[in-house]
C-alpha cells in the first residue's frame, strides 16, 4: 500500500498545533509507517513554495493548515495547497475560527501597525515609518506580502473538508484524525473531528 502523502502548513499561528502533532510521540512514529510528509512549512520539510506549485493537482492526500489568514502570502499559499490537495483540514482554533489572531479584528489595521511600530515603549521609530508592501533596494523593486485589514478563518478563503478545534487541539483529537486518515474512515465532509472526550 502506498503511503498517504501529508502536507502541513503553518499560516498565521504560533506552531502550538504542530506541537500537538509532536505530542502524539510514539503514535506519530507508528503513523509514519503509513504517512509520508511531503511538505511541512516553515518548520520540518521546508521546501520552497515553488516546489508546492510544481506538484500535480490533487497529488497531496491530506493537508493540515494551522493558523488563520492575515497576509496575502498566506492566502496565496493556501489557495495553491487547496489545488494540490484532496482533503484539506483546518487544524486548530486559528484555522477553524480565527482563534487568537482573530482577536485583532477588534482593531483597525492602522491601529495595529501604529501600536506595533510606533507606540510601544521599546520602539525607536522617530519618523513613524510603517511597513510598506513595496521597497526599492539598490534599484530593484522588492514586494512584500500585504497585511490584510482583517484576519480570516480558513473556510473564508478556500473550501475546507474538515475542522479540528482546540488551541492547540488535544492530542487525543489529533490521534483520532490521524487514525481516520490512515484507515480511510473520515466522517462526512464538513465535520469537526474530535475524540468525543
Could you say whether residue 4 binds ligand SF4 (CB under 6 A)? Answer: no
At closest approach, how far in Å is the CB of 14 from ligand SF4?
Answer: 4
What are the grid coordinates assigned to 173, written together?
483529537
Q: Residue 36: count other Cβ atoms within 10 Å of its Cβ.
A: 12
Residue 139 CB partners (closer than 8 Å, separation 6+)? none
Considering only residues 35-64, where is the footprint of ligand SF4 by CB under 6 A?
none
Place of cell 484539506: 88
Nearest by Cα to 76 from 134, 149, 144: 144
Q: Which of 5, 6, 7, 16 touches ligand SF4 by CB under 6 A?
A: 16
Among 28, 45, 71, 100, binds ligand SF4 (CB under 6 A): 100
Which of 90, 72, 82, 78 lies closest to 148, judged by CA? 72
17 is an interface residue for ligand SF4 by CB under 6 A? yes
Q: Binding marks (x or -) toward ligand SF4, 149..178, rule CB under 6 A?
A: ------------------xx----------
Among positions 4, 63, 66, 78, the unique one binding ligand SF4 when judged by CB under 6 A: 66
C-beta separation of 25 from 31 below 8 A: no
Please state, as a whole number, how many other Cβ atoms lie within 10 Å of the Cβ of residue 80: 17
**93/174 with CB nearer ligand SF4:** 93
- Residues near ligand SF4 (CB under 6 A): 13-14, 16-17, 66-67, 92-94, 99-100, 167-168
Amino acid at each position: 500500500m502506498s503511503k498517504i502523502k501529508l502536507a502541513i502548513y503553518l499560516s498565521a499561528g504560533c506552531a502550538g498545533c504542530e506541537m500537538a502533532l509532536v505530542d502524539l510521540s510514539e503514535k506519530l512514529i507508528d503513523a509514519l509507517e503509513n504517512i509520508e510528509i511531503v511538505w511541512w512549512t516553515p518548520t520540518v520539510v521546508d521546501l520552497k513554495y515553488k516546489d508546492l506549485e510544481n506538484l500535480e493537482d490533487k497529488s497531496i492526500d491530506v493537508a493540515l493548515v494551522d493558523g488563520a489568514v492575515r497576509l496575502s502570502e498566506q492566502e496565496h499559499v493556501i489557495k495553491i495547497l487547496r489545488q494540490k490537495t484532496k482533503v484539506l483540514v483546518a487544524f486548530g482554533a486559528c484555522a477553524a475560527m480565527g482563534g487568537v489572531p482573530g482577536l485583532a479584528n477588534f482593531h483597525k489595521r492602522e491601529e495595529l501597525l501604529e501600536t506595533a511600530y510606533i507606540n510601544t515603549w521599546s520602539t525607536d521609530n522617530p519618523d513613524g515609518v510603517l511597513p510598506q508592501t513595496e521597497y526599492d533596494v539598490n534599484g530593484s523593486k522588492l514586494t512584500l506580502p500585504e497585511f490584510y485589514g482583517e484576519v480570516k478563518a480558513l473556510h473564508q478563503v478556500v473550501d475546507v473538508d474538515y475542522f479540528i478545534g482546540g488551541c492547540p487541539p488535544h492530542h487525543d483529537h489529533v490521534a483520532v484524525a490521524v487514525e481516520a486518515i490512515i484507515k480511510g474512515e473520515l466522517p462526512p465532509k464538513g465535520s469537526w473531528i474530535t475524540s468525543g472526550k
